[in-house]
Structure 1
Amino acid sequence: MTRRLISSGSRFEAEGGYSRAVVDGADIFVSGTTGYDYATMTLPEDVGAQAHACFRNIAAALAEAGASLDDVVRVHYIVTRADYADVLFPIFGQYFAKARPAATLIVAGLLVPEMKIEIEVTARRRT
C-alpha cells in the first residue's frame, strides 16, 4: 500500500508544509489537532468545547483513512494548564472508552493564546 496524505483544507497545512494525517499501510498518523472549525476558522473559548472539536476533526481524518477513534493506539494530549484535567479526563474517556490507547498528557504553551488543547493520535487499521 502506498503512502497517502489527508488534508482538512486548513490553510495552516499548506503554509506549514504538513498533512492533517498520513496513511502508511495500516498505520495512520494524525497531526496535532486543535479545536478549530476549519470551515469558519473559529475556535471555541471553552477548553471542553475545544476538546470536543479536536475529536471531531480527528475522527474526520480517521474516517477518510478508513478508520475510527476505536482504532487509536497512541494519543498525546497537549494542554496549556494542568488544572484543565478535571474537565478533560471525562471527555477523553468518552471518546476512548473502547480504544483505551496508550496516552501522554503534556502541559505546554501552544501557538496562540486562544488554543487550550491540541491532540495528536496514531491509529492502526485492523485487518
Structure 2
Amino acid sequence: MNGRRFIQSGSRWEELAGYARAVVDGRWVFVSGTVGQDFRTGRFPEGAEAQAELALDTIGSALAEAGAGFDDVVRVRVYVPDRGDVVAVSQALRRRLGDNRPANTTVCSPLAVEGARVEIEVTARRNA
C-alpha cells in the first residue's frame, strides 16, 4: 500500500475497529488516539495523570517501532472528558516532550472508551 507500514499494540480496540496503533508513511508517523489502558488486563490506572503516562508509554513504543521518538513529534491532540484533568495531563505531556514543543490541541469531550480519562494522538516526522 504505497510503502505504508502498520504498527499494532495489541489493543482490542484496534481489532474491533480495524485500525492500526500507528501508520508509518515515508518520514511521517501517525499514532492513533491512545487511552491509558493496560491492554493486557483491560484496566485503567487511577487518575488522569497516571492514565496519560500509560497512554504515552504505548505511544512511545509505537514511535520507537517506527524509528522515531518524542523528539520527532510535531503535533499532539489531547481529549479529556473532565476539564479539571487538563493540568495533570498537560504536566505528563510536558515531562515526555521536554523542550520539543509540538503544536497541541486539547479538547474537553466525552470519550468512546468507558473509564478512560484521557486520549492522546500524535503525529511525528522522523529525522532519519
**Range with bigger deviation, 90-99 or 62-71:** 90-99
SS at match of 1:111: coil
Q: TM-score when scaled to structure 1? A: 0.94
Give 1:43 shift: 1.2
**SS of the residue aligned with 1:120?**
strand
Q: What are structure 2's unaligned runs of at least 5 residues?
A: none
Say whether the 8 Å CA contact 1:28–1:65 is kept in structure 2: yes
Between 45-54 and 18-27, the greater mean CA deviation after superposition: 45-54
SS of corresponding position for 1:52: helix
Task: Give the 5 Å matches for 1:48-87.
Answer: 48-87=49-88
Aligned residue in 1 for 2:100? 99
Q: What whole-Å deviation, never above 9, does each CA across 1:65-86 have from its counterpart, x for those lacking one? A: 0011111000000001111123
How far apart, in 1, do the equivalents of 2:101 and 2:109 lie? 23
Write out the 4+ residue segments of structure 1 that deviate beyond 4 Å after TM superposition. none
Where do 1:16-27 residues align within 5 Å? 16-27=17-28
Could you tell me how far 1:112 is from its partner in structure 2?
Answer: 3.3
Q: Tell me the distance in 2 between the aligned counterparts of 1:46 and 1:29.
A: 26
Judge conservation of contact 1:45–1:114 (CA < 8 Å) in 2. Answer: no
Give, in angstroms, the shift of residue 9 of structure 1.
1.4
Q: Answer with 79-88 or 66-75: which moved more.
A: 79-88
Cα 1:89–1:10 shift into 2, 3 Å: closer
Native 8 Å contact 1:74 1:103 kept in 2 = yes
CA drift of 1:31 comes to 0.2
Q: Percent identity of the aligned residues?
A: 46
Q: Figure out how many residues of one structure are paired with residues of the other and give that number.
A: 127
Partner of 2:6: 5
Query: Any unmatched runs of 5+ in structure 1?
Result: none
